[in-house]
Amino acid sequence: GQSLEQPSEVTAVEGAIVQINCTYQTSGFYGLSWYQQHDGGAPTFLSYNALDGLEETGRFSSFLSRSDSYGYLLLQELQMKDSASYFCAVGSTDSWGKLQFGAGTQVVVTP
Amino acid sequence: DTEVTQTPKHLVMGMTNKKSLKCEQHMGHRAMYWYKQKAKKPPELMFVYSYEKLSINESVPSRFSPECPNSSLLNLHLHALQPEDSALYLCASSQEYEQFFGPGTRLTVL
């Protein structure tokens, strides 16, 4: 079976750094993705990690440790527009094409 | 063109109605998906089409019927839905690991 855990909510002030952790138990794991979703909007792709290490894309970075079944999304220089839900999602060779989403982390950015 | 389009944006239907949701992408992606999303919950996979063939059906009730007329189009036919089927229905497409989501159809079943 598959399971993912991520915190339900994180609150931080503008300009701060937030780390959203994601732990997973997935047979046939092949990659960890992150998606952002604003209220009323559609999920948008942020990053993908298939190998151990850090991937950086502007203010957002994502990390993966396959041996620890763990990853995180790092949001730097937080802006009000970063207030959204963030989902980690895993892909498995047990079911090609299917993404298993975590429950989501609501990030609230305050002035 | 790097977007997925969905129509209609909003749909209200009775339990005896038949309606269809439409999705279109022109990125040449080989895989297309239907998801259902309830408020404050993650997207829940319903169907996956790969190269126009149904590859995954997540045990979805038969009142939801997907169709892939060609590589750019994906439909979801709805019939005899229940009020608990009210949700945001998202279409997505992908070529590799990144899924591109459409804006969704917000469905209300009365």
pLDDT band at B1 (very low <50, low <70, confident <90, very high): low
- Measure CA A106 to chain center: 11
- Locate A9 and state its tokens: 């909510």
Predicted confidence (pLDDT) per residue in A9-28, tens digit = 999 999 999 999 999 999 99
Examine the pLDDT at B88 and tell me if it is beyond 70.
yes
Mean local confidence (pLDDT), A58-67: 97
Give the mutation candidate from A62, A99, A107 for the B interface (greatest B CB count, under 10 A): A99
Supply the pLDDT for residue A97.
82
pLDDT band at A1 (very low <50, low <70, confident <90, very high): low
Examine the pLDDT at A2 and tell me if it is beyond 90.
no
Strand partners, B45: B35
Examine the pLDDT at B96 and tell me if it is beyond 90.
no
Examine the pLDDT at A69 and tell me if it is beyond 70.
yes
Mean local confidence (pLDDT), B63-74: 97
Q: Are B101 and A43 in contact (CB < 8 Å)?
A: yes
Q: Are A43 and B43 in contact (CB < 8 Å)?
A: yes
For residues A92 and A25, the answer to whether their CB atoms sit within 8 Å is no
Supply the pLDDT for residue A95.
84
Q: Are B41 and A95 in contact (CB < 8 Å)?
A: no
For residues B24 and B17, the answer to whether their CB atoms sit within 8 Å is no
**Rounded distance, CA B91 to CA B100, Å?**
8
Examine the pLDDT at B4 and tell me if it is beyond 70.
yes
Q: Return the number of CB contacts < 8 Å for A and B.
A: 48
